[in-house]
Structure 1
Amino acid sequence: MDFSHISTSLPWYRQLLSRMGILMPVKALGTMVFMVLFFWAYFAILHQPSGEAWVMPLMAPDAWVPFTPLAYPFYVSLWVYVSLPPAFLGNFRMLALFGFWVSALCLFCLGLFWLFPTAVPAAGIDWSLYPELDRIKGLDAAGNACPSLHVGSAVFAAFWLEWILRRVGAPWWLRWGNALQCLLIAWSTLATRQHVVLDVLAGALVGTLFAAASLIHARKVAAVRGL
């Protein structure tokens, strides 16, 4: 089954709901397996880098973003956010294409983490005062700082969601909300002191490049297959 069977005359929200119901077991299992494999590789590289981590330099804009634990919900929202594009895809071919490109993005960044390990400078914060933030220090660890894969995957997901939302005729406020959520995730990596500005900029660049290449591929496939 694919989304070519979903009438574009339906309201945008009904199109999205219909897409979510297609291949739901495959999407759920695939997302779970992908995240398990990703974290296995992430922590393996974190604990066995090729050399000593280089501390990323601070820039003037780093001082413009104050530390706040209020950024924590936006930081962890990434794991839901990156699951939305595959949830809204309506056929196996596009689902596989998305999986291929997001895997390529992660493998590229993991390769950089292993070859060129980087760390964020010490923030001088007693993390025991912030239990939630203390826990995430082991997830987006300082040894895998640049480029920020947190930001890269958020940007990648944002471009795919924009493409999907335009195809279903979603309203402008939802599309702007998608962009805002991506920006809030990027901001949260700075506000939680998980990354510095250079990490964020590098992550955004990597996410944009992989998103552009993947969507060119997706448009070609959609045009040829009439999806």
Structure 2
Amino acid sequence: MTPSSFRDLPPSGPPPWLRALVRRCLALWPLKLVGNTVATIGFFPLYFWIMKNAGQPWTLPLTAFDRLIAFWPALLPVYLSLWLYIALPVFLAKDRRELSNFALGCAFMTCIALVVFWFMPTAIPNFTIDTSPGTSLHLLKTIDAAGNAFPSLHVSFSVFACVVLARQLRDVAAPMWLRLLNIAWAVGIVYSTMAVRQHVLIDVLGGLALGIGFGLASRPRQAVAAAAVQAEPA
């Protein structure tokens, strides 16, 4: 083969974006593993304590949009996949600053939601669905009751994770199909909250506002400064 033909051969090994993702995963991995585990396990006792001890909840009204969403229990795995999805921005954080920004965003969202749950307890309507033992939703409805509805932390976590993941994938020049998969996963989780009758439109919108707000606020300072410069008139 001629030297020019060697230059035309595709490069061997994984693509650069995949190598960059692996490097991100390996950075600070003990801290990420322990921190994510402690944060996830520590969240639930307080969440369920507030659900049990808050005052009489106000039942959220159904909208016409809620009536259009078909009950789809097969989406329960998508609903539960949030706890895998929200771990991805943690393990893809490239340094302590990126890791702490995501952790603080989740912590502040949780604090805001828990305060709302305590002072303004809400619950979804009592949907007529089969939750008898042996059904796919029996365990979910037994453990996670209808309380702590507004704002939906399930939605806010997924949206916040989607925004941060989109930023991380862009930084490593990930292919478009992977970026679209990120968005599709987040959309699927948001939709599943209504399809498995865990949330209604009102608390989904509250979760969207919370997740998008913290997602924008978590942008690196350099990106915010660059956006401000671009917005200035010539």
TM-score under structure 1 length normalisation:
0.88
The alignment partner of 2:66 has SS state of: helix
Counterpart secondary structure, 1:132: coil
Larger Rg: 2
What are structure 2's unaligned runs of at least 5 residues? 1-14, 226-234
Which residue matches 1:44? 49
Q: How high is the TM-score relative to the length of structure 2?
A: 0.85
CA-to-partner distance for each residue in 1:5-24, whole Å, 9 max, x for gaps? xxxxx611110011101111
In structure 2, C-alpha distance between the alignment counterparts of 1:138 and 1:215, rounded to whole Å: 38
Query: For 1:16-35, what aligned pairs fall within 5 Å after superposition?
Result: 16-35=21-40
Counterpart CA distance in 2 for 1:175 and 1:89 is 16
Partner of 1:143: 147
Aligned counterpart in structure 2 of residue 15 of structure 1, from 13, 17, 20: 20
Alpha-carbon distance change, 11 to 96 in structure 1, aligned in 2, over 3 angstroms: same
Q: Provide the C-alpha distance between the structure 1 equivalents of 2:106 and 2:24, rounded to a whole number of angstroms.
A: 20
How far apart are residue 141 of structure 1 and its match?
A: 3.0
Identity of aligned residues (%): 41
Distance 1:183 1:72 in 2: 14
Match of 2:132 in 1: 128
After superposition, the Cα gap between the structure-2 partners of 1:114 and 1:133, relative to the gap in structure 1 and judged at 3 Å, is same
- Are 1:94 and 1:218, in contact at CA under 8 Å, matched by a contact in 2? no
Q: Matched residues in 1 for 2:46 and 2:195: separation?
A: 26
1:94-119 superposed Cα distances (whole Å, 9 cap, x missing partner): 21221111100111111111111000
State the SS of the aligned residue for 2:218: helix
Query: What displacement does 1:93 show?
Result: 2.1
What is the root-mean-square deviation in Å for CA atoms of aligned residues? 1.7
1:196 aligned partner: 200
**CA–CA distance in structure 1, aligned partners of residues 100 and 116 of structure 2:** 24
Contact 1:89 1:95 in 2 (8 A): yes
1:113 aligns with 2:125: no
Aligned-partner SS, 2:47: helix
Q: Are 1:214 and 2:218 matched, yes or no?
A: yes
The one-letter code of the counterpart of 1:95 is: L
Q: For 1:202 and 1:48, locate their aligned partners in 2 and report how far apart those are by CA, in whole Å.
A: 22
Describe the shift of the 1:88–1:139 C-alpha distance in structure 2 as closer, same or farther (beyond 3 A). Answer: farther
Shift of 1:25: 0.9
Question: 1:49-74 CA deviation, whole Å, 9 max, x = no partner?
Answer: 1x210000000011111001111110
Cα distance, 1:43 vs structure 2:
1.0
CA contact (8 A) 1:45 1:114 kept: yes
Structure 2 CA distance for partners of 1:55 and 1:215, relative to 1, 3 Å: same
CA contact (8 A) 1:69 1:130 kept: no
**C-alpha contact (below 8 Å) 2:131/2:141 kept by paired residues:** no
Separation in 1, partners of 2:224, 2:73: 43
Q: 1:173 aligns with which of 165, 177, 188?
A: 177
* Contact 1:127 1:134 (C-alpha < 8 Å) held by counterparts: yes
